[in-house]
């Protein structure tokens, strides 16, 4: 049986990529929080979300690096993945274990990877 994703934060500044990603995540049972195209809006959503099970974060949001969002999610023990055209070398060492999916990426691949991370997190809590 396929794992439901739950509430998933989507942070992506390219409209078409965000739309495709949202569709793929919803097909995997996600309730979407967002999508957001700025760090400020994503951080506000994280702070106000009553439930958040995972996230997909583009590294570069119109010239701003999204690592503050990643740190907030990490502090809350919420699994997430990065998407980017950048190489993994741009990711700070403190976040080096976070999976990176290179763009262009297949939205279904992203959804499957996130489902795996969320499932592992739920197994750890049992």
At 73-104, the pLDDT tens digits run 999 999 999 999 888 888 999 999 999 999 88
Nearest to 14 by CA among 70, 83, 91, 90: 83
Considering only CA atoms, give the Rg of the chain: 13
d(CA 82, CA 118): 14
Domain count, the chain: 1
pLDDT confidence of residue 37? 96
The interaxial angle of helices 15-27 and 107-125, nearest 10 deg, is 50
Tokens 């506000």 found at: 44
pLDDT confidence of residue 62? 92
Is there a domain that residue 1 lies in?
A: no
pLDDT confidence of residue 1? 36
pLDDT confidence of residue 121? 67
Is there a domain that residue 31 lies in?
A: yes
Its pTM stands at: 0.90
Per the structure, the complete domain to which residue 38 belongs is given by 6-125
Is there a domain that residue 34 lies in?
A: yes
Burial (CB count within 10 angstroms: exposed 0-12, middle 13-18, buried 19+), residue 57: buried
Q: Which residues of the chain have pLDDT under 50?
A: 1, 123-126
Is there a domain that residue 20 lies in?
A: yes
Query: What SS3 class is residue 6?
Result: strand
Asked if 59 contacts 82 with a C-beta cutoff of 8 angstroms, the reply is yes
pLDDT confidence of residue 3? 56
pLDDT confidence of residue 23? 94
Q: At 83, which CATH number?
A: 3.40.50.2300
């Amino acid at each position: 049986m396929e794992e439901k994703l739950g509430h998933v934060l989507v942070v992506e500044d390219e409209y078409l990529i965000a739309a495709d990603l949202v569709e793929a995540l919803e097909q995997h049972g996600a309730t979407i929080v967002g999508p957001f195209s700025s760090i400020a809006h994503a951080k506000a959503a994280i702070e106000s979300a009553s439930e958040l099970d995972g996230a997909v974060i583009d590294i570069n949001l119109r010239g701003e690096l999204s690592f503050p969002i990643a740190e907030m999610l990490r502090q809350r023990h919420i699994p997430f993945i990065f998407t980017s055209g950048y190489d993994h070398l741009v990711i700070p060492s403190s976040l080096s274990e976070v999976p990176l999916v290179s763009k262009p990426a297949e939205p279904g691949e992203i959804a499957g990877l996130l489902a795996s991370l969320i499932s592992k997190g739920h197994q750890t809590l049992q």
